[in-house]
């Protein structure tokens, strides 16, 4: 086989070193138990064994665990920790921690600092209030946290208090997953197993012990002044504005995008970066985003498990640091109507543990059959399971964002670009003969250099785009954990790799002929192209004609969470997650039940907040305005001057108030209507509550547009977005 990549692509960071000190410089990750810290504090044998556990997932025996725990404790105490916690990711989508002091009484009643291997490896929080989707009842609520040695322990500083955090998985007494990490780890294993089969087919597996899922997740967020936030119950309770008239200027000028970062925001960003740097999160990029008040932060990629933990820490650092600068960081998918919402771009690839990116086509992509197998496995996976991938990012918050002209549409398609599409064309016809090159760009001014051009342009509208040597899934919501979407992504790709490996292995019938392998692989790839190319779309995903075309191609268009969730309990899904050992049927159903409940709960809270804001703030203000107008009419009348226009204004105000009352009543009614199951309740919410909330909001926004400034007490969009 020719053209197989066997060294590290230039510029690709060494993923094995990524979580270890030294990769970025001195002091990097000073608050993580990795690299130099470990090296200094563990004897050689313990260090080696722990490394094997961390990189190859080998079990750790008790004696070693005790030594690791003791070293961790010493390190933590020296860094000012008095407590440790098992840090985990329950199905709420947040992180959870229950702190315990290192101090225990000894036989003589003195307090000594202790942290044993048992305490490191296993915890038993009484975590009975976390959602379990019916897997456990509160009366039999035993749950365990289990140390995930593959993700470095870290010290989290909250003000002056430092706590040792041990990343853990959270499972029930029966061993069923109650968290987001456990299935993610299982899916990483599944995709590695199947990818290794492909490497074996091509003979490129030598020296490789596993295939690693790599992830880099760009995070968008808003910053607003804390004073405004404290005067907006909707932002405090729901994370998004439930009412608010659009300002005269939104993002039309695109002048915020990549603009100069102002001083207060820069100070905030620097603090976030410093905190993350200490925690070993390799932050690389910062910039202003499209909407006013919107920003982005992006790390260098890491292995998927660590990247997911680090993503949670990143959101934590953003939220926690904002307060020091009089700001609040909004991570909601759609904090403001009529301007862009926020998402996460999930950059995903597969690499060998020797550092070879399996989705790097290199210069001669057409000869790199192994690359084409991985690429087309992804294309096939997205086509076969577009519904599941779409469902993996469904949430109440993301419903407000997806499909607007800012985020990818709900139709999941793949962007490949000109070069790869050309290779697919060639493959369909026979043996591919060439790879399109980008050439050089002449910029027309002698003082500017000629720069090499990529072989295809970028596409900003595609939900799932090939971006040179990785795929970028762009539809994830900004507040979501990336664990679940990546669990689904890994699992569907494991299945496609399995499908291709099984076919190729069977057709090779144990022979090792290069010639035959070429033929067998080509036929398999042709078949994938023939059946699944319909999911490839390189055009403008915002164009309404694409929606029409996608329907013609038979691609699913699942518009809301309520449309999505049933696909996760389909027989297809149960079989898929079961087959690859990612989730049992019970675990999957439990998860879906939690998702249904979360959707309804979030919208219920939004509805009640809206009703309360209208009753306590908007309506009283509107009535005061009505009184003012009525007074103006009577005094004009008494003075004998023309009062016609003021009379009309009063009439309009009365009508708007009537509409506000009617809309709010409809919200209250829809919200309190009893509905039997969580699934039916969610449907009722989509069909009755969401439209009622939109109606009440429209009436409130119409009033906001006419009520005088001194009567309107809620901070306006213009204030929140532009005053910083
Ligand atoms: P943008 O798409 O905004 O131009 P970049 O191309 O700089 O951004 O990359 C975005 C993210 O992709 C970064 O977090 C980067 O580390 C990550 N990334 C780069 N290569 C890989 C890879 N092989 N696997 C996973 N993520 C990657
Ligand atoms: Mg990107």
How far is Cα of residue 480 from the mean position of the Cα atoms in its chain?
5
Average pLDDT over residues 515-535: 95
| pLDDT value for 449 | 58
| pLDDT value for 140 | 62
| pLDDT value for 137 | 65
Residue 311, ligand 1, Cβ within 6 A: no
pLDDT grade, residue 18 (50/70/90)? very low
- The alpha carbon of 357 and the centre of ligand 2 are apart by a number of angstroms equal to 17
Q: Is the pLDDT of residue 247 over 70?
A: yes
Look up residue 224 and give its DSSP letter: E
Q: What does 534-558 look like in DSSP terms, one character per residue? A: GGB--S-TT-HHHHHHHHHHT----
Q: 417-433 pLDDT, tens per residue?
A: 988 999 899 888 887 77
Higher pLDDT, 454 or 165: 165
| pLDDT value for 430 | 80
d(CA 315, CA 16): 24
Residue 285 CA: nearest ligand 1 atom is 7
Q: Mean pLDDT of all residues in the chain?
A: 89
Residue 357, ligand 1, Cβ within 6 A: yes
Q: Is the pLDDT of residue 233 over 70?
A: yes
Q: What angle do CA 704, 237, 655 make, to 5 degrees?
A: 25
- The alpha carbon of 473 and the centre of ligand 2 are apart by a number of angstroms equal to 9
Q: 620-633 pLDDT, tens per residue?
A: 999 999 999 999 99
Go through the chain and tell me how many residues it has. Answer: 724
Residue 300, ligand 1, Cβ within 6 A: yes
Average pLDDT over residues 75-103: 92
Please report where in the chains the tokens 């982005």 appear, as a residue.
296
pTM listed for this prediction: 0.92
Q: Are 115 and 72 in contact (CB under 8 A)?
A: yes
d(CA 286, CA 307): 18
- The radius of gyration computed from the CA coordinates of the chain, to the nearest angstrom, equals 28
Please report where in the chains the tokens 């509409």 appear, as a residue.
659
Higher pLDDT, 236 or 261: 236
Two tokens, residue 238? 């729901």
Coil/strand/helix, residue 590: helix
d(CA 87, CA 318): 18
d(CA 119, CA 84): 10
- The alpha carbon of 221 and the centre of ligand 1 are apart by a number of angstroms equal to 18
Residue 351 CA: nearest ligand 1 atom is 23
Residue located nearest, by CA, to atom 6 of ligand 1: 467
- The alpha carbon of 24 and the centre of ligand 1 are apart by a number of angstroms equal to 17
- The alpha carbon of 499 and the centre of ligand 2 are apart by a number of angstroms equal to 29
- List CB-based neighbours of ion ligand 2 within 5 Å: 345
387 φ, ψ (degrees, to nearest 5): -65, -40
Q: 330-354 pLDDT, tens per residue?
A: 999 999 999 999 999 999 999 999 9
Ligand 1, residues 10, 217, 298, 307: which to mutate, most atoms within 8 A of Cβ?
A: 298
Q: Are 353 and 55 in contact (CB under 8 A)?
A: yes
pLDDT grade, residue 195 (50/70/90)? very high
Two tokens, residue 458? 């970028």
| pLDDT value for 7 | 35
Two tokens, residue 377? 């496995």
Among 595, 577, 483, residue whose Cα is nearest residue 169: 483
């Amino acid at each position: 086989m020719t053209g197989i990549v066997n060294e590290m692509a230039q510029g690709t960071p060494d993923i094995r070193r990524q979580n270890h000190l030294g990769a970025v410089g001195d002091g990097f990750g000073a608050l993580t138990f990795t690299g130099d810290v470990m090296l200094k504090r563990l004897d050689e044998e313990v260090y080696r064994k722990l490394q094997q556990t961390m990189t190859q997932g080998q079990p750790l025996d008790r004696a070693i665990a005790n030594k690791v725990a003791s070293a961790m404790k010493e390190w933590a105490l020296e860094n000012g920790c008095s407590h440790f916690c098992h840090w985990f990711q329950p199905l709420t989508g947040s992180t959870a921690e229950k702190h315990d002091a290192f101090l225990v009484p000894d036989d003589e009643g003195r307090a000594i600092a202790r942290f044993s291997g048992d305490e490191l490896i296993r915890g038993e929080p009484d975590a009975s209030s976390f959602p379990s989707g019916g897997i456990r009842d509160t009366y039999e609520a035993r749950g365990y946290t289990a140390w995930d040695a593959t993700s470095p322990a870290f010290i989290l500083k909250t003000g002056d208090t430092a706590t040792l955090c041990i990343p853990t998985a959270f499972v029930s007494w029966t061993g069923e997953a109650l968290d987001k990490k456990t299935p993610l780890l299982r899916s990483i294993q599944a995709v590695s197993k199947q990818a290794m089969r492909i490497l074996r087919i091509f003979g490129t597996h030598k020296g490789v012990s596993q295939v690693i899922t790599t992830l880099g997740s760009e995070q968008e967020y808003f910053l607003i002044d804390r004073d405004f936030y404290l005067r907006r119950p909707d932002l405090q309770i729901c994370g998004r504005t439930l009412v608010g008239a659009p300002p005269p200027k939104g993002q039309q000028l695109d002048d915020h995008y990549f603009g100069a970062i102002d001083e207060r925001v820069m100070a905030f960003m620097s603090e976030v970066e410093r905190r993350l740097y200490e925690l070993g999160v390799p932050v690389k990029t910062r910039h202003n985003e499209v909407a006013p008040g919107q920003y982005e932060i992006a790390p260098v990629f890491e292995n998927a498990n660590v990247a997911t933990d680090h993503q949670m820490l990143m959101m934590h650092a953003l939220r926690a640091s904002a307060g020091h600068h009089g700001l609040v960081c909004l991570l909601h998918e759609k904090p403001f109507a009529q301007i862009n919402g926020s998402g996460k771009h999930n950059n995903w690839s597969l690499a060998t543990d020797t550092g070879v990116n399996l989705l790097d086509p290199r210069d001669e992509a057409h000869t790199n059959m192994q690359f084409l197998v991985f690429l087309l496995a992804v294309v096939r996976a997205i086509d076969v399971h577009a519904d599941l991938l779409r469902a993996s990012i469904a949430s109440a918050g993301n419903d407000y964002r997806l499909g607007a002209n800012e985020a990818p549409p709900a139709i999941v398609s793949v962007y490949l670009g000109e070069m790869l599409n050309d290779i697919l064309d060639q493959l369909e016809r026979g043996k591919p003969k060439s790879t399109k090159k980008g050439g050089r760009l002449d910029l027309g001014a002698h003082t500017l250099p000629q720069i090499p051009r990529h072989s295809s342009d970028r596409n900003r509208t595609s939900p799932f785009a090939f971006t040179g040597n990785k795929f970028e899934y762009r539809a994830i919501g900004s507040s979501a954990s990336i664990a679940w979407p990546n669990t689904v992504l890994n699992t569907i790709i494991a299945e496609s790799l399995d499908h291709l490996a099984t076919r190729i292995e069977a057709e090779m019938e144990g022979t090792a002929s290069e010639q035959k392998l070429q033929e067998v692989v080509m036929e398999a790839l042709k078949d994938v192209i023939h059946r699944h190319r319909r999911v490839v779309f390189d055009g403008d995903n915002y164009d309404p004609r694409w929606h029409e075309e996608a329907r013609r191609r038979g691609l699913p268009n699942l518009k809301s969470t309520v449309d999505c969730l049933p696909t996760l309990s389909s027989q297809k899904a149960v079989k898929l997650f079961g087959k690859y050992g990612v989730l049992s049927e019970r675990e999957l159903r439990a998860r879906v039940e939690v998702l249904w409940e979360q959707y309804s709960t979030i919208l219920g809270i939004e509805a009640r907040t809206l009703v309360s804001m209208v009753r306590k703030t908007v309506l009283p203000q509107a009535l005061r305005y009505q009184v003012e107008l009525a007074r103006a009419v009577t005094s004009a009348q008494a003075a004998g001057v023309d009062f016609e226009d003021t009379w009309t204004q009063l009439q309009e105000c009365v009508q708007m108030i009537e509409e506000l009352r009617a809309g709010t009543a409809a919200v209250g009614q829809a919200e309190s209507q009893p509905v039997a199951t969580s699934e039916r309740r969610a449907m009722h919410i989509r069909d009755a509550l969401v439209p009622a909330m939109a109606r009440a909001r429209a009436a409130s926004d119409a009033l906001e547009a006419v009520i005088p400034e001194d009567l309107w007490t809620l901070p306006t969009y213009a204030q929140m977005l532009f005053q910083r």
